[in-house]
Amino acid sequence: MTVFEDEYGRSRETPGAEGTSWLGSPYPAVVADREGGVVEFNAAAADLFPRMGVGKWLDEVVPGWLADAHRRLSRPARTPAAAAPTRAGPAPLRGSHDGRLLRAHPTDSGHGDVAWWLVDDSDLTAAQDALRAERERTALLAEASTQLLASLNPDRCLEKTALLAAAHLGDAALVISPPVRNRCAVVTALGGGCKRTQLTLDPALVPGLAEALQGFPPVPARWIDPAELPSWAVPEGFGGTPGAVSITPLPGHGVPAGALILLRRGGRRAFDTSEELFARLFAARAGAALSAARLYAEQARVTRALIAELLPPQLHHVGGVDFAGGYRTSQDTERIGGDFYDVHAGTEDGQETLAVLGDVCGKGLDAAVLTGRIRSTVQALLPLAGDHQDVLRLLNGALLTARHTRFATLVLASVRRTGGRVRLRLTSAGHPRPLILRATGEVEEADTGGTLVGALPVVTSRSATVDLSPGETCLLYTDGITEARGGPLGSAMFGEDRLRSALAECVGLPAEAVVERVQMVAGDWVGRGPHDDMAVVAITAPHTTHLSAVNGHTRGRYTA
Amino acid sequence: MSTQTTTSTADLAATRRQLWAALEARDEPAATAAVLGAHDAGVPVEDLLLDVIGPVQAKVGAEWAAGRIGVAQEHAATAIQDRVVAALAHRTPDGTGPRPETGEAPRRVTVACVDGEWHALPARLLAEVLRGRGFLVDYLGAHVPTPHLIAHLHQTGADVVALSSSLPVRLPAAHAAVTAIQAIGLPVLVGGAAFGPDGRYARLLGADGWAQDARAAARLLAAGPPRADAARPAAGDLPHLADQEYTLVTRARTQLVRQVLQGLEDAVPAMASYTDRQRERTAEDVAHIVDFLGASLYADDAELFTGFVTWTAGILRARGVPGDALIAALDLLADAQHDFPRARGHLAAGRRALLRVPAPPAPGPRS
């Protein structure tokens, strides 16, 4: 104490010595000497530290963190490594006292006395913490929405939900899909990885799960005893019984999309109300995304099933003749349109194969539906295919009696191979005439014509018979090819002449290559411009099959 | 190139010769016999795909470029090759079990060609190689419109997409596809000559990976390319497009072709006697130049354009067409681009390259 008294002097240039104004400062201030004895303090400091008094040791009156800081500042360690005090000004430090957060700014007098200015930071810090937490949550929700809405695949959505939840909401997460025949798809995410399983589980065994799967509001987390969780609910490698569990429903578009189970490891605190609320915000987004993905998947499944019959078929080798087809719809987003083709093999050996290619007035879905009708009608009329006029007459009748007012043009080709040659019977019903590519490179037009179907009560037509030698091709096409506009100068019509010269380059090509070439030339012609539906079928008399049968490399070896 | 397989390089070379001879004769059974015979003799399917069929296809392209085979023969050869691949594919069982290396479920890969890309064989070869290595492969073929591709990905839940493109003029389409695939949260690997010999355009477009060949692609896919990060709209942004040169040149394509064609008719007297067909061919050639100029502006790489013009000069030379017209066309195009410094720069680089290379260059990019 004597040392303290000896060194005490008001004349020294401590901040307090400037005058008494600081004594009335609303901020607590304390001056202490080198030994840690209180030299002076103001009223605010006295309010804050009730035991404050001049001559007392700091240790007795202020929190330990402040007394320690004072010791460090006024009596720097004498080890050479202690370079810290040479810094420009000591940084403020923080600590708590009586439930408040204080920021302490030391001011060194240079004589060993230090004045401590204290600022109450509690409210600011609390506001900053709350702001940071909110910002993180908003960012997470935005991120979650972006990731979840990116995919319309339900499995991906489930995985994303589980991964995001495990990364941000708990130590592990399980996403349970609503049960289908007592089995639930469960996606478990832990430590950045996720696993999918199908489980037969009784939701009633997990408090709140049955309710969540039915879309009822969640059971507060504190009601769920982690020890009662069934084994499937704790992922492998989680490490013991969870310390806390939270179960949140995933609300879908009107129907529950599943439930989200969040797990925290033992020893960590339970989910508080704000965390549960946040989990519900997250679950709302995940549920909506999942629901949209499921709806899309279901719609896509229905669409696939319905248009399966309307899609252009894969053509191949039938009755010793090569068939190939190519289709391009007017809209890139659609897979079906108003053009169609089919190849029906004869039911018995030696019977003719019937190829049909046509174009329904209009495009898009409505036209596509009518192509389906025409295709099935033609298939039903197959037994009559010996007489194309009969087929067209009956088809015309069927179309006239139907509700719609659309008509169609088409070309029928009955194909039979005899020896190396292929005989075609071709009949056009208001359709562009088939082109014949000869081995010489000449391109001929089949001399057939007739009225379109579905418009007039009576239809007439004239058939042409064409023989193909090995390597020769008959090309059926729709006017989407010839009427395609484009080219290097922009707006010229592709036209029959260009089609003929493109075809003339295809001498001896297999049917697929002819189709590909025609599609490619026409496709390049239109470029990125608009175009109608385009369909092409090539019927080619193969030129090597009879040889291959002799030399032992028959198709059967690899087309089985 | 690894040669540690049991197949000797001599065997492969012999099979390549047989296959090429069969293609020249348009003899599909002989082509199939050559490849299947080699398989019977123990050559692995993957080696046949990549060390026989692939190189022979490259030769088909080179022979066409050199003017030694016609376009029809090229198509015939490609069609036969496709059938040979199909024949070989029957000998590969579908990979459905867990992958032997890791025991994980097989990765599901969608292989497709970019919208407007008709060269399907490289993608087909990759699809078969991947199938042979146990991937679940959806092969969508040539010319896949991006909306179809995206719908397919949503419906099948593929893990990763492999996109193929041969022609750099498809780079904008490829970029649109890459962006669309990444927007639905999937990683995309790209490959093919369109992306440059060192894959520089793959990086430019923000693809998640690039592979030089099918083996590299398979390795990359087995390791798993980095998961696409759904929220990264900035990746693959092309700041150089802000000058609008690409957009304006592409939009003015028809007009530019007309203008250059008109100019050529004034500059090249021989054109007066051209038939309509010849004139149209010339117009198509000019349109190609404009398309490649567009692509090089899109990629902001004059080398793309110079590569194209030197290659075209080689093609023309192989067909006995004088190269003066090409230079004249570049000059006329440059005249039309007075407001576009980047376009002028690329055209000037193309012109310099034409003057610099007196000897016929190798056809196409290195392969």
* Burial class of A530 by CB neighbour count within 10 A (0 to 12, 13 to 18, 19+): exposed
| Residue B4 pLDDT | 47
The CATH superfamily holding the domain A130-305 is GAF domain (3.30.450.40)
Same fold across A2-120 and A130-305: yes
Q: Does A516 contact B70 at a Cβ distance shorter than 8 Å?
A: no
Which of B184, B255, B285, B292 to mutate to probe the A interface, most A CBs <10 Å?
B184
The predicted-structure confidence for A126-177, as pLDDT tens digits, reads as follows 899 889 988 998 998 998 888 888 889 999 899 999 999 999 999 999 999 9
The predicted-structure confidence for A88-113, as pLDDT tens digits, reads as follows 456 678 888 888 888 898 887 767 78
How many Å lie between the alpha carbon of B254 and the closest alpha carbon of chain A?
5
Q: A509 contacts in B (CB within 8 Å)?
A: 72, 75-76, 79
CATH numeric code, A317-559: 3.60.40.10
Reported confidence tier of residue A343, pLDDT bands at 50, 70, 90: very high
Architecture of domain A2-120: 2-Layer Sandwich (3.30)
Per-domain boundaries in chain A: 2-120, 130-305, 317-559
Q: Which residue has the higher pLDDT, B46 or A545?
A: B46
Q: Which of residues 466-505 of A touch B (CB under 8 A)?
A: 487-491, 501, 505
Q: Is the predicted pLDDT of residue B266 greater than 70, yes or no? A: yes
| Residue A81 pLDDT | 46
| Residue A545 pLDDT | 47
Instruction: Find the CB nearest B33 among A296, A304, A553.
Output: A553
Q: Which residue has the higher pLDDT, B288 or B228?
A: B288
Count other C-beta atoms under 10 Å from residue B314's C-beta. Answer: 21
Q: A505 contacts in B (CB within 8 Å)?
A: 70-72
Q: Which residue has the higher pLDDT, B94 or A311?
A: A311
Q: Is B277 on the interface with A (CB under 8 A)?
A: yes
Nearest one of B97, B112, B102, B139 to B222, comparing CA atoms: B102
Q: Is the predicted pLDDT of residue A239 greater than 90, yes or no? A: no
Q: Does B75 contact A516 at a Cβ distance shorter than 8 Å?
A: yes
Q: What is the chain A residue with the closest CA to B144?
A: A332
Reported confidence tier of residue A2, pLDDT bands at 50, 70, 90: very low
Q: Is B29 on the interface with A (CB under 8 A)?
A: yes
Reported confidence tier of residue B97, pLDDT bands at 50, 70, 90: low
d(CA A92, CA B267): 82
Q: Is the predicted pLDDT of residue B1 greater than 80, yes or no? A: no
Q: Is the predicted pLDDT of residue A6 greater than 50, yes or no? A: no
| Residue A11 pLDDT | 39
At a CB cut-off of 8 Å and minimum separation 6, what does A130 contact?
Answer: none
Reported confidence tier of residue A560, pLDDT bands at 50, 70, 90: very low
| Residue A76 pLDDT | 66
Question: What's the distance, CA A205 to chain centroid?
Answer: 34
How many Å lie between the alpha carbon of B251 and the closest alpha carbon of chain A?
11
Q: Which residue has the higher pLDDT, A74 or B6?
A: A74
Q: B231 contacts in A (CB within 8 Å)?
A: 143, 146-147
Q: B118 contacts in A (CB within 8 Å)?
A: 516, 520, 523
Q: A489 contacts in B (CB within 8 Å)?
A: 254, 257-258, 261, 283
Q: Is A153 on the interface with B (CB under 8 A)?
A: yes
Q: Which of residues 225-254 of B touch A (CB under 8 A)?
A: 230-231, 253-254
Reported confidence tier of residue A274, pLDDT bands at 50, 70, 90: confident
Q: Which of residues 286-305 of A touch B (CB under 8 A)?
A: 296-297, 300, 304
| Residue B111 pLDDT | 97
Which of B19, B23, B40, B83 to mutate to probe the A interface, most A CBs <10 Å?
B83
DSSP calls for A264-325: E-TTSPPP-HHHHHHHHHHHHHHHHHHHHHHHHHHHHHHHHHHHTTTSPPPP-EETTEEEEE
| Residue B236 pLDDT | 58
Q: Does A510 contact B153 at a Cβ distance shorter than 8 Å?
A: no
| Residue A5 pLDDT | 38
How many Å lie between the alpha carbon of B92 and the closest alpha carbon of chain A?
12
C-alpha separations of B365 from A75, A303, B70, B165, B215 in Å: 75, 44, 20, 14, 19
Q: Is A150 on the interface with B (CB under 8 A)?
A: yes
d(CA A525, CA A373): 32
Instruction: Find the CB nearest A488 among B70, B80, B284.
Output: B284
Q: B286 contacts in A (CB within 8 Å)?
A: 488
| Residue B299 pLDDT | 93
Instruction: Find the CB nearest B183 among A150, A296, A553.
Output: A150
Q: Is the predicted pLDDT of residue B79 greater than 80, yes or no? A: yes
Q: Does B72 contact A548 at a Cβ distance shorter than 8 Å?
A: no
Report the interhelical angle of B324-335 vs B276-299 (nearest 10°).
Answer: 60
Chains A and B: how many Cβ contacts under 8 Å? 119
The predicted-structure confidence for A184-219, as pLDDT tens digits, reads as follows 999 999 988 888 888 888 888 888 888 888 888 877
Q: What is the chain B residue with the closest CA to A522?
A: B116
Q: B29 contacts in A (CB within 8 Å)?
A: 544, 547-548, 551, 553-554
Reported confidence tier of residue B227, pLDDT bands at 50, 70, 90: low
How many Å lie between the alpha carbon of B214 and the closest alpha carbon of chain A?
24
Q: Does B79 contact A332 at a Cβ distance shorter than 8 Å?
A: no
3-state secondary structure of A550: helix
Q: What is the chain B residue with the closest CA to A301?
A: B155
3-state secondary structure of A375: helix
| Residue A162 pLDDT | 94
Reported confidence tier of residue B139, pLDDT bands at 50, 70, 90: very high
Q: Is the predicted pLDDT of residue B141 greater than 50, yes or no? A: yes
Q: Does B145 contact A558 at a Cβ distance shorter than 8 Å?
A: no
Q: Is A373 on the interface with B (CB under 8 A)?
A: no
The amino acid that residue A398 corresponds to is A
Instruction: Find the CB nearest A513 among B33, B75, B90.
Output: B75
Q: Is A192 on the interface with B (CB under 8 A)?
A: no
d(CA A428, CA A432): 7
Q: Does B90 contact A152 at a Cβ distance shorter than 8 Å?
A: no
Which of A77-86, A247-256, A502-511, B303-312 bottoms out in mean pLDDT, i.e. has the lowest?
A: A77-86
Give chain B's domains with CATH numbers: 9-89 (1.10.1240.10), 108-223 (3.40.50.280), 241-356 (1.10.490.20)
Instruction: Find the CB nearest A544 among B28, B90, B153.
Output: B28
Q: Mapped to the 3 state alphabet, what secondary structure does chain B carry?
A: CCCCCCCCHHHHHHHHHHHHHHHHCCCHHHHHHHHHHHHHCCCCHHHHHHHHHHHHHHHHHHHHHCCCCCHHHHHHHHHHHHHHHHHHHCCCCCCCCCCCCCCCCCCEEEEEECCCCCCCHHHHHHHHHHHHCCCEEEEEECCCCHHHHHHHHHHHCCCEEEEECCCHHHHHHHHHHHHHHHHCCCCEEEECHHHCCCCHHHHHCCCCEECCCHHHHHHHHHHCCCCCCCCCCCCCCCHHHHHCHHHHHHHCHHHHHHHHHHHHHHHCHHHHHCCHHHHHHHHHHHHHHHHHHHHHHHHCCHHHHHHHHHHHHHHHHHCCCCCHHHHHHHHHHHHCCCCCHHHHHHHHHHHHHHHHCCCCCCCCCCC
Q: What is the chain B residue with the closest CA to A299?
A: B155
Q: Does B90 contact A560 at a Cβ distance shorter than 8 Å?
A: yes
Q: Tokens 């037969």 belong to which residue?
A: A200
| Residue B95 pLDDT | 58
d(CA A400, CA A4): 118
Q: Is B86 on the interface with A (CB under 8 A)?
A: yes
Reported confidence tier of residue B362, pLDDT bands at 50, 70, 90: very low
